[in-house]
Amino acid sequence: MSVAATPTRRGPNPCPNLNHRRSGAPVAHCPDCGGAVNQALHRMACPEMQHDEARRARSTFCVHCGLRLIGGYR
């Protein structure tokens, strides 16, 4: 029953995005899984323009509000 030493709790989603592992991440949500990484930066909503930009950067989730931007290709 040995558990690998992980300093942070990561829940059931083993997302490889580095933002989950750093404290004081520059974004509120992970662009890969949408998980919250820095609640202090969370936004309720974003201008649609910002989501268009994020889509162009190929983010699956908005890093500000956590909304799914790209989907349905699983």
Q: Report the residue number, 41 or 65, with the smaller CB distance to Zn ion.
A: 65
First to last CA, the chain: 34
Binding to Zn ion, residues 37-66 (CB under 5 A): 46, 62, 64-65
Binding test (CB under 5 A) with Zn ion, winner from 25, 27, 28, 30 = 30
Tell me how far, at minimum, the Cβ of 2 lies from Zn ion, in Å. 26
Residues 6+ apart with CB under 8 A from 66: 28, 29, 34, 35, 36, 42
- Which two structure tokens, joined as six digits, stand for 49? 């323009």
Backbone angles phi, psi at 29, to 5 degrees: -130, 155
Query: In a 3-state reduction of DSSP, which class is residue 11?
Result: coil
If one asks whether residue 17 binds Zn ion (CB under 5 A), the answer comes out as yes
Tell me how far, at minimum, the Cβ of 3 lies from Zn ion, in Å. 21
- List interacting residues with Zn ion (CB under 5 A): 15, 17, 30, 32-33, 35, 46, 62, 64-65, 67
